[in-house]
Amino acid sequence: RAKGEGKDRLAFFEAHLQEALRREMHLLEALRHDLEREKGLWLAYQPIVDLKTGKPVALEALLRWRLASPGEFIPLAERHRLMASLGQFVLRRACQEQPRHGLPVHVNVSPQELLDPHYPAHVAQILEDTGCAPENLVLEVTESTLIPDERGREATGSLQILRRLGVRVFLDDFGSGHSSLERLAQLPVDGLKLGQAFTQALGSPPDPQSPAARVVAAVLALAKTLGLQAVAEGVEDEHVLAYLKALGFRLGQGYLLGKPTPLYSEEE
Ligand code: C2E
Ligand code: MG
Ligand code: MG
Ligand code: MG
């Protein structure tokens, strides 16, 4: 009986695996097709807000696709080495659309893109082609890209080149990786975004004595000491907003402050 069950279970897993593989291949082919034609892919923009005035000071470009959410298709693109071309599409589109809103635009950079030694040259080319001023571009990178091995050092060198061009760099989802504080002080970055895991760990209303609240306060103090701008991500309610403001955060992002929205309606 046990043997029979084992067999059933194996067949069950095989069926699921096959289904997952089929979906992966189907999505991959569709994504390649859409990217080639630049159809079915668009950018949503979410404001980064000055917490004093409530006004947006920048927009983050977030890639959208007709067939899946970013949480699914971005890892998929990374697995199949499609992220570099997808990233170029995003950067070009974000730079092209920048005059429509006139604010600096934040663009997410995947590890695969930044680890390509030609990345700074690609960025420079896109800035030139689109006429976007380097000051209007902010690249968001994750800590894991910048681990101090050989590739990480190359990526860090690329960021230095980009900053000399006038492009700014922010560390995304700060705190979700394994960042050493010492390394943060050495990284060529202009700002950090406190990951939404931290913001959410505050609870609502936040308890200032909780460990999560102390960590958030310490991260802000650290950013200030290092002369970095700090953005609190994942601001979803008034209690948390008030708390972050009182702590001294100048910048925030989250559903309460503004949801990701396309610049154009589909018909345009
Ligand atoms: P991210 O760069 O940290 O972007 C923030 C994510 O949090 C976005 O998810 C945004 O919609 C979501 N978010 C914003 N406010 C709130 C909030 O108040 N509460 C909660 N729970 N979530 C909030 P999205 O658009 O699904 O993107 C997920 C991730 O996919 C991004 O995280 C980024 O890492 C990646 N991604 C998106 N577009 C691109 C892209 O063009 N290139 C690359 N390399 N990665 C991208
Ligand atoms: Mg980001
Ligand atoms: Mg983030
Ligand atoms: Mg992220």
> What is the whole-number distance in angstroms between the Cα of residue 176 and the centre of ligand 1?
14
User: Is 266 a residue whose pLDDT tops 70?
Assistant: no
Which ligand is closest to the CA of 78, given by its number? 1
> What is the whole-number distance in angstroms between the Cα of residue 260 and the centre of ligand 1?
9
Give the atom of ligand 1 at the shortest distance from the alpha carbon of 113: 44
Which ligand is closest to the CA of 71, given by its number? 1
CB 67 within 8 A of CB 27: yes
Give the atom of ligand 1 at the shortest distance from the alpha carbon of 44: 25
Output the CA angle 194-110-215, nearest 5 degrees. 15
pTM of the model: 0.94
Residue of 108, 172, 200 to mutate, ligand 1, most atoms within 8 A of C-beta: 108
Identify which has the larger pLDDT, 108 or 264.
Answer: 108
Q: Which residues of 65-86 are buried (b: 16+ CB within 10 A; e: fewer)?
A: beeeeeeebbebbbeeebbbeb
> What is the whole-number distance in angstroms between the Cα of residue 211 and the centre of ligand 4?
23
Q: Kindly indicate the confidence band of residue 44, based on its pLDDT and cuts at 50, 70 and 90.
A: very high
Poorest-pLDDT segment among 6-10, 37-41, 132-136 = 6-10
Which residue's CA is the nearest one to ligand 1's atom 35? 70
CB 45 within 8 A of CB 263: yes
The predicted model gives 83-90 an average pLDDT of 97
- Ligand 1 interacting residues, C-beta cut-off 6 A: 46, 62-63, 69-71, 74, 87, 90, 108-110, 140, 172-173, 196, 234-236, 253-255, 260
User: Is 265 a residue whose pLDDT tops 80?
Assistant: no
- Looking at this predicted complex, what is its ipTM? 0.97
Average predicted confidence (pLDDT) for the chain: 93
Q: What is the dihedral of CA 166, 183, 106, 102, to 10 degrees?
A: -40
> What's the pLDDT at 179?
67
> What is the whole-number distance in angstroms between the Cα of residue 93 and the centre of ligand 3?
20
User: Is 3 a residue whose pLDDT tops 80?
Assistant: no
> What's the pLDDT at 119?
97
pLDDT tens per residue across span 199-246: 999 999 999 999 999 999 999 999 999 999 999 999 999 999 999 999
> What's the pLDDT at 268?
45
pLDDT tens per residue across span 146-183: 877 888 888 999 999 999 999 999 999 988 766 667 77
Strand partners, 43: 63
Sorted by sequence, the CB contacts under 8 Å of residue 74 that are 6+ apart come out as 63, 83, 86, 110
Strand partners, 85: none
> What is the whole-number distance in angstroms between the Cα of residue 225 and the centre of ligand 1?
27
> What is the whole-number distance in angstroms between the Cα of residue 9 and the centre of ligand 4?
35
